[in-house]
Amino acid sequence: MTVLCGLLVNPKTPVAAMGILIQTTSLLYIFPSSLGFAVSTRVGNELGSNRPKTARLSAIIAVSFAGVMGMTASAFAWGVSDVWGMIFTNDMDIIKLTAAALPILGLCELGNCPQTVGCGVVRGTARPSKAANINLGAFYLVGTPVAVGLTFWASYGFCGLWIGLFAAQICCAAMMLYVVATTDWEGEAKRARKLTCSEGVDVVITAQGNGDDLAEPFVYVVTVAAD
């Protein structure tokens, strides 16, 4: 997005405004990202312990809280839109451009928070490639074309870039939540057991005698096999 800003008229202003907004969204991203890592670990542990119902409950609670988090972040972005740019600069052009795009950034958070946490849930079920493919498709096959089209063809300018990001976030959130909602938790618990104990393992234990207790070492072979 920063590179595309360089193609706009008077690029110094949009590049500066983009820098402010990227820092802002990075600040807001800390919260859903932390929750995503936490639920990923929790879901993985519950599935590994053969507790699919608890894993599902953890996912539902986390995604629900992510929705609240997204609304809070959106309200924050809307509330500070007129003054947020003043923290970083006294250039009025940059401040005005930042104020114009901040409400769109707030809308992006409505999709960003749920999709980030949903991605954590999907990672917890040992399907990181599915989460990566969803992100790749949403941001590069949906978001980027929309952003380029609105910015340069529809003449939306700087705000068109953020509308494109909004489209990507909503698309990504919808697909990620669909994957979470249609997850076969019982099946994932069984798959977790196969992933962690797929083959028998021979454990060799050698006992060496002391003095006259044992003439030769004993070798014990214990085989641990999956069900």
Per-domain residue ranges for the chain? Answer: 2-193, 198-224
Mean pLDDT confidence for 111-126: 96
Residues above pLDDT 90, as percent of the chain: 78
Mean pLDDT confidence for 12-24: 94
- Tell me, what's the pLDDT at 73? 96
Rounded Cα gap, residues 76 and 153, in angstroms: 31
Mean pLDDT confidence for 138-160: 93
**Residue 29 — pLDDT band, cuts 50, 70, 90?**
very high
* pLDDT per position as a tens digit, 186-195: 999 999 888 8
**Residue 196 — pLDDT band, cuts 50, 70, 90?**
confident
- Tell me, what's the pLDDT at 200? 46
Mean pLDDT confidence for 47-54: 94
Q: At what angle do helices 12-48 and 52-79 cross, to 10 degrees?
A: 160
Rounded Cα gap, residues 169 and 79, in angstroms: 21
Kindly report the CA angle at 66 between 62 and 67, in degrees rounded to 5?
125
Say yes or no to pLDDT of 203 above 90.
no
Mean pLDDT confidence for 84-94: 94
Say yes or no to pLDDT of 109 above 80.
yes
Say yes or no to pLDDT of 199 above 50.
no
For 172-207, letters b (16+ CB in 10 Å) and e give bbbbbbebbeebebeebbeebbeeeeeeeeeeeeee
- Tell me, what's the pLDDT at 95? 95
